[in-house]
Amino acid sequence: MKQPLIVFRCDAGPVHGTGHVRRCLSLARVFRNAGWRAVFMTDLASPEYVPELEAQGDDLLLINGDDPVDEQAMHLLAPESEGVQVLVADNYELDARFERACRPMTDVLVALDDLADRPRDADVLFDSALGREASDYAGLLPESCRVVTGPGVALLAPDFMEMRATSLLRRETPGLERIMISLGGVDPGPVLERLVDGLALGGFQGWLTVVLGQELEVATRLRARSGDPFKLEVSVGVRDMAQRLFMTDLAIGAGGSSAWERCALGVPSLVVVTAHNQDFIARGLAEAGAVQLLGWHEDVTADSVAAAFRNLADDPAGLAKFSQNSADLCDGRGGERTWLSCLEEVVHAGLVTLRLATQADEDIVLAWQNAPQTRRYAHSVVVLTREEHHAWFAARLTDPDCLLCIITCDGQDAGSLRLDRKGTGSDRIVSIYLAPEAYGGGVATAALTLAQRLAPGWRMLAEVLAENEPSHRLFQRAGFRSDGEGTYIWEAAA
């Protein structure tokens, strides 16, 4: 099997910021972990603002980027045209013209957006903005385009999911000893010093870290400050943001994609809007009680920052509430959700997709597990109690080594597919069962085929009881081979 290819078209710089490239890097990591090759196509300036791009080696294609339709990009992509399974467009200057030009070169077109302000020609569109509805894209997309919205598809590095549980535990004892200011990867302008002045004016006496995407003149001025009542550190180009946020009691950040990093770890935040494309996200976060909005960067004053800090310092319960509300919005598994939603299978029963399970699925999964048709061939025929299932389900949702998926058919929940990591390698244990009403439509075979397409780098194992003839037939249809001892095995052909 030829290694499938996903191509990311995104840019970074003073106009674009760094969020587009960074969230694409996060999604690329999920695809690569599943066995895909990921190629980045950016303009010439992008590696200067996101140095991690240089590490892509031969998987980085640099283009001029002046033409919105990117004719040069089309030329570079052409040699891969028979093997590009997914093309991701994440750039506010790209629209339906670019995507139509790419149609002959890729199987699936994915758009990442949070503006809903221009026509797109995508197969799937993801918008992580809080409060965004699919209807916001009415008239801007083909009718066949699937739209997935909400912070659940915010694209974060895996570190945030892995550190989430310990970070939330740390928030149970709120305090204000460590503050971080991070306004993104480009020059934040004069507001940065006003934020520092405001914390001094408000009486902060702990440890302040200012994070910059690159070395700027303001860094020299901040390092020279000696009269502040707090310890000040300036860090440039950090690669351990999750660890730093874990240790942070309060963050002052921008209203773009980095807001979801803070939410995933439950870090209370003051938000500064540094670009108008952040307005929708910032307002949504404030309305959800997840952040305190300081406002447009040009309007933020030292006095307003001092007042906001004093209010939080005097209200530990309010600080804890910000933490809980923000953590409720984003769990850090957006990369997996986006990856799962990029592909689909069509069978005579309808359009089959996979999505990551959520807490809201607990009852329906219990009903499927306890259905007589399911229990008949389960390794244990004992019906699960609600309490037993609740504990099991909660553990699966938070286990980074478990991928608990809901199978959907034409938008209706139709069953469950679970992939559990076995050991430290690429082996995954497969568990699958359907809603009784979904039997016989090819849905289970389609779900397994999707898993194979999504994760060609994994070896999948399924243990089947000797008397479970339906499952034997299912795994045989899906291309699994039997070891003759009750285990079916699938791995991509070399």
Separation of alpha carbons 200 and 176, rounded Å: 14
In this structure, the number of other CB atoms found within 10 A of the CB of residue 423 comes to: 7
The pLDDT of residue 123 is: 97
Residue 337 lies in a domain: no
**What CATH code is carried by the domain that includes residue 239?**
3.40.50.2000
The pLDDT of residue 382 is: 63
Backbone angles phi, psi at 14, to 5 degrees: -60, -35
Residue 423 identity: G
The pLDDT of residue 1 is: 59
Domain that holds residue 247: 159-329
**Pick from 101, 133, 88: nearest CA to 114:** 133
Separation of alpha carbons 132 and 113, rounded Å: 11
Q: Is the dihedral of CA 41, 458, 155, 444 positive or negative?
A: positive
Residue 2 carries which DSSP code? P
Residues 273, 250 share a domain: yes
Residue 261 identity: E
Residue 453 identity: R
Domain ends where: 149, 184, 212? Answer: 149
Residues 145, 164 share a domain: no
Residue 335 lies in a domain: no
Residues 174, 94 share a domain: no
For residue 178, count CB atoms less than 10 angstroms from its CB and return exposed for 0-12, middle for 13-18, buried for 19 or more.
middle
Strand segments, DSSP code E, in 16-165 are 37-43, 60-63, 84-90, 108-112, 124-127, 146-149
Domain ends where: 149, 175, 193? Answer: 149
Alpha-carbon torsion, ordered 417, 342, 476, 378, to 10 deg? 0
Give Cα separations from 232 to 9, 209, 241, 335, 479 (angstroms): 37, 6, 17, 34, 59
Contact status, residue 322 vs residue 352, Cβ threshold 8 Å: no
The pLDDT of residue 374 is: 77
Give Cα separations from 314 to 174, 176, 208, 291, 309 (angstroms): 12, 10, 19, 16, 9
- Please, what is the angle between helix 469-477 and helix 443-454, to 10°? 50
User: What pTM, to 2 d.p., does this model score?
Assistant: 0.90
Give Cα separations from 151 to 63, 128, 155, 264, 336 (angstroms): 31, 4, 9, 10, 13
Residues 363, 310 share a domain: no
Residue 171 lies in a domain: yes
pLDDT tens sequence for the chain (494 residues): 578 999 999 999 888 888 899 999 999 999 999 999 999 999 999 999 999 999 999 999 888 866 655 555 656 665 555 578 999 999 998 999 999 988 888 999 999 999 999 999 999 999 999 999 999 999 999 999 999 999 999 999 989 999 999 999 999 988 899 999 999 866 677 899 999 999 999 999 999 999 998 888 888 999 998 788 999 999 998 889 999 999 999 999 999 889 999 999 999 999 999 988 899 999 999 999 999 999 999 999 999 999 999 999 999 999 999 999 999 999 999 999 999 999 999 998 899 999 999 999 999 999 998 888 777 766 665 677 899 999 999 999 989 899 999 999 999 999 999 999 999 889 999 999 999 999 989 999 999 999 999 999 999 999 998 888 999 999 999 999 999 999 999 998 75
Residues 435, 358 share a domain: yes
Backbone angles phi, psi at 464, to 5 degrees: -125, 130
Residue 269 lies in a domain: yes
Contact status, residue 152 vs residue 359, Cβ threshold 8 Å: no
Domain ends where: 117, 149, 181? Answer: 149
Residues 416, 467 share a domain: yes
Residues 439, 375 share a domain: yes
Residues 363, 301 share a domain: no
Q: Is the dihedral of CA 348, 350, 355, 357 positive or negative?
A: negative
Residue 68 lies in a domain: yes
Separation of alpha carbons 466 and 211, rounded Å: 59
Residue 45 carries which DSSP code? T
**What CATH code is carried by the domain that includes residue 19?**
3.40.50.11190
Phi-psi region of 48 (alpha: psi -120 to 50; beta: other; left: phi over 0): alpha
- Please, what is the angle between helix 19-33 and helix 158-170, to 10°? 100
> Residues with Cβ < 8 Å from 408, sequence gap 6 or more?
352, 353, 354, 355, 414
Residues 464, 390 share a domain: yes
For residue 362, count CB atoms less than 10 angstroms from its CB and return exposed for 0-12, middle for 13-18, buried for 19 or more.
middle
Number of domains in the chain: 3
Residues 225, 114 share a domain: no
Residue 247 lies in a domain: yes
Residue 373 lies in a domain: yes
Strand segments, DSSP code E, in 158-206 are 178-182
Residue 154 lies in a domain: no
**What CATH code is carried by the domain that includes residue 353?**
3.40.630.30
Residues 80, 36 share a domain: yes
The pLDDT of residue 375 is: 73
- Please, what is the angle between helix 302-313 and helix 316-329, to 10°? 100
Residues 354, 226 share a domain: no
